[in-house]
A and B are shown apart, each in its own frame.
Chain A
């Protein structure tokens, strides 16, 4: 159900909405009407736990706030849910903090809030602040999440010989955003979505480590996790539209962020079976590489029998003409 904007809130967020008075109460009540009362009525939430819990937090800034295939609300929920999956945990609850730039149209805020509500992930407490125009990029969102640990995962468990799998094709989020920003039209959408189903699918195969390839893409994740070994990437699943974006703008799919994918390290003995299980969820899932003896470098095997070193760029990928 879409809750209509109360007339008295106005069209845009103003500093009054963040000032602690009646305008703010009105905004908070409106947010609570969309996310459920728990999100806004108490200073904190008290939750039952049993066993080890995982805790993670992430902040989200994206331009544009609404992009092909989603909005910052999707990223804020699934980003933290997926970070919990990467620690082997199933999300129990999220906090939601909003820093809103004055002048943000309330209609946009509403669409983001409805997106968050529609994920079904419980938002049990939160906070709202409003900042002066020019300081907020429209909207900053932070979510913190707790979850019960189901899989024991750690980079320390990665061994030489482990297989590296991915749960789907790569780079859709980064390619969709970059294409849109550079004035291209494409049916390609962000892959932002939940990796929760992977906890059940992967449990029988006892993976050693999971990581979601967000900023910096697969290259960044593997660069972080390779040491003390080397990693050789043998193939990359890339959708033809993502390839087209990369060729036209001079980008490398290995550097593009995904928002609904997981990189999975699993011992060789269980790799084929794990890959088959991942394919049931997404036919593009596949093995991409192997952990080999080395010193923390990541190699990409080319089609001509050679290996090329994969760099992690200093900053965000930039389109080029040269």
Chain B
């Protein structure tokens, strides 16, 4: 896309990588917290341009990785046992629940539809008034407003056959949970498009760590890393917006207001990390809550006992230090969510490992 080209310019990237190399003196553990960032680092090969002193960790900022197995089980139950059309983002199709995943459920007759937008699910509900339609709402603060507004659209249209299975999570509690093991964070640009900079200034002070908000293009990522290393080298604690073209200090208040109308904050289990207080969103209106409408009890999900995804997400263990990595667990047969798709930390390492021996 023409609009993205300046942010991918090879000269700019080489310059930034070189500067990063000269500025880095110490040894720093920097955690990026968004699956989109992980994907971008790997896709553009930026992680291989980093100097020795920068260790990049892939954090828990990916709905694929942190949606609890029990919630996946509820989604699968809705699709298989109840007569609903389950609409979902494509990301969730291969994530393993306790026993199976949505893709395999579809093979066994589950009525599933991959959608690009929650509004597509509302449109399906409008089009098929005799069909119960459930949207599987996952994601962070970037996506919550879209689900909130989809519910408002359904309510305004008087739809009685639309509901949401909601499993939204919030970034700051996750950063708190892992902060003792990192030196700094790269925060997710599009989350901050909604939230603004204020929560990250406060968090930076609270945790005593630099937090730099980055975009997702090569120039954005390197610019963010450069700013982050500068703060670390200078011993400064601050939150810095390295993505000003998309992040305003005030964020998007209209979007946040929509979320506040639709959701309350709640304690939320994170896959592999336990329950974090006030880290999730719960639907306020039971009329649009699929768990309520279909009488779904919360399910205790079962993770494979050999899966160490939780430790990986918290920066406690590198994927390559997991005994199952590359043997019992590969992208073709993942034990846990972090090996599914390109966003997962383990999947990203899998790629690197097979990299040794790249052609000259």
Q: Using a CB–CB distance below 8 Å, which chain A residues touch chain B?
A: 182-183, 230, 232, 240, 243-244, 247, 249-250, 292-295, 297, 299, 302-309, 311, 314-315, 318-322
Contacts and interface: CB of A to CB of B under 8 A. Distances in A.
A29 B343 CA distance: 55
Contacts of A230: 359
Contacts, number: 95
Q: Is the interface of A mostly helix, strand, loop or mixed?
A: loop
Interface stretch (B85-93, B235-243, B290-298, B300-308): B85-93
Interface stretch (B35-43, B195-203, B280-288): B35-43
A304 B351 contact: no
Given A183-B117, A304-B44, A304-B45, 8 more contacts: A183-B120, A247-B1, A302-B45, A304-B14, A304-B46, A306-B48, A309-B351, A318-B90
Interface of B: 1-2, 4, 8, 10, 13-14, 17, 35-36, 39, 42-46, 48-49, 62-64, 89-91, 93-94, 103, 114-117, 120, 139, 143, 218, 331-332, 341, 343, 351, 354-355, 357-359
Contacts of B143: 321
A307 B358 contact: yes
Nearest to B90: A318
Given A243-B1, A322-B64, A322-B91, A294 B359 contact: yes
B359 A321 contact: no
Given A183-B116, A321-B91, A322-B62, A314 B4 contact: no
Given A304-B218, A322-B35, A322-B91, A299 B359 contact: yes
A314 B331 contact: yes
Contact of A311 (B36, B49, B331): B331
Nearest to A293: B359
Nearest to B113: A181
A314 B332 contact: yes
A322 B355 contact: no
Contacts of A183: 116-117, 120
14 contacts: A182-B115, A240-B1, A294-B359, A295-B357, A297-B354, A303-B44, A304-B218, A306-B49, A309-B354, A318-B93, A320-B91, A321-B143, A322-B62, A322-B343
A183 to B, nearest CB: 6
A322 B10 CA distance: 25
Nearest to B39: A322
A312 to B, nearest CB: 10
A308 B94 CA distance: 23
A293 B90 CA distance: 37
A247 to B, nearest CB: 5
Among B39, B45, B49, B116: residue with most chain A CB under 10 A: B116
Contacts of B17: 304
Nearest to B45: A306
B351 A321 contact: no
Contacts of B62: 322
